[in-house]
Structure 1
Amino acid sequence: MIRLAANLSMLFTEHDFLDRFAVAAKAGFRGVEYLFPYAYEPRELRAALDDNGLTQVLFNLPPGNWEAGERGLASLPGRESEFRDSVSEALRYAEALDCPSLHAMAGLLPADADEATREAHLATYIDNLRHAASELARAGRTLLIEPINTHDMPGFFLNRQAQAREVLERVGADNLRIQFDLYHCQMTEGNLFANLEAQFPYMGHVQIAGVPGRHEPDVGEVNYPAVLERLAELGYDGWVGCEYKPAAETAAGLRWGTAYGLQA
């Protein structure tokens, strides 16, 4: 059974953030995710979840200075202490929100990165992920990493599915899984069924969006009904995050999701 979670950083942006929980619930979503919770107190977010019968599915660790263009800390040499602090802060929110999974964004390579720089980032990434996975394991939570396409996020350190599997193998933590975003996979390498099947044993979360444009999943080159059917056939029982940019007002574009319990 496919369970859809609304990404409140992208959906229902016609409303103030804390109002999006109620609108998402009214539209038929039972789970929510978003990029970051840190602008709000945990008690505010907990109340928004409880008042609307919603499950907190996922959010990201603090990413560094987002406004200045940083996109995660996990692979950045020299920022290890800040990364460890970010793990502690994310776990504080995860406990309050009963959130099972946290995503550690890898961060960006310098524009002039050579092989030595890439190796330094990889070594830092592995060490940081081992630390984070250990901390999350003690709290009974799952750590996620996500390949992100470099068209949308130039220089992002982790961008291919096989690369993510290699990282999992090197880290060697049972609670480290892959956040499989079908939009990013299609933008980077395509071949969705083969990649979906290869990633499935390592998969901790799934996200969707139309390709190209990152709009509703029923627009573009991906046959999402077939992809989601295959996901269900494989036995996926997690959430599918709707991390897309509505082409217009969010509710007007939800017809694609009526087969999965949404209200158009």
Structure 2
Amino acid sequence: MTHAGPAVPTAVFGPQTAVGAPHALVLAPVTPRWDEGAFFTPVIRTLADAGLRVTVVDTLSVWDEEVDSMTAFVARWRALLPAFGRVDLLCGNALGGAVAQALLPDCAPDTAALLVSGPARTDPLLEERLTQIADLAASGRPGAALALLGRRVLPHSAPGTDAGGPAAEGHPSAVADTDADAAASRRLAAGMRLLCGIDVSAAVRAHPGPLLQIVGSHSQLVTRRHTAAAPHHSVHVAPGAGMRPHSEQPTEVAALIGAYLWEKGLR
């Protein structure tokens, strides 16, 4: 189900009217267009089946050309956060995961966090790869940017993942109508560049609530070295997975998340 949330495109799943149902707020990754939560389908299903009401938001919808840093971007989300009511589980994937971690100081101390390939910090290699994608999008080639992104989200051992920027245009992606889409170009370029130079490690380590971060051992982008955690938090490295362990290993990740929800009293 999709509706207009507080100033952002929003999709809601699960027991929307159940009294006392825990509420999960999910921040989306960089997408050329709002996909109504499709990016997180396996995780959304796990959360909804556990009895949570799940609100998925288009993270990039609050961006415009006046936002020149992740700090300014997070400030806009900080202002919107109260409109979503109580949040029992704050989730995020990729860019959404970075924003979710930056928002932890603004959440109740017992708020649980669930992150999938959500960086707490970047490094030169990750920033170089993000910038390559952003530059393609900014030059009016969102199809090429999506093709390169499509290769980068695969595990590094997958066939064809050693391609550079220009070669990525041959990637078999359905992007023909996207190449002429200026809005898609702006979203892709902005989203990738917002991640460059971030470090919210201190905010993550200071969060007193539970946190589960899931990353792939073979990710070409966000890896364990880009995560942060306090001693009472958990970082799970999915063997052989790339940037989308929830799609590549849905059964294993669903079991991991289910156990986390049970342990933290959210189901």
State the TM bucket, normalised to the shorter chain.
0.3 to 0.5
Report the TM-score, using the length of structure 1 for normalisation. 0.35
Q: TM-score, normalised by structure 2?
A: 0.35
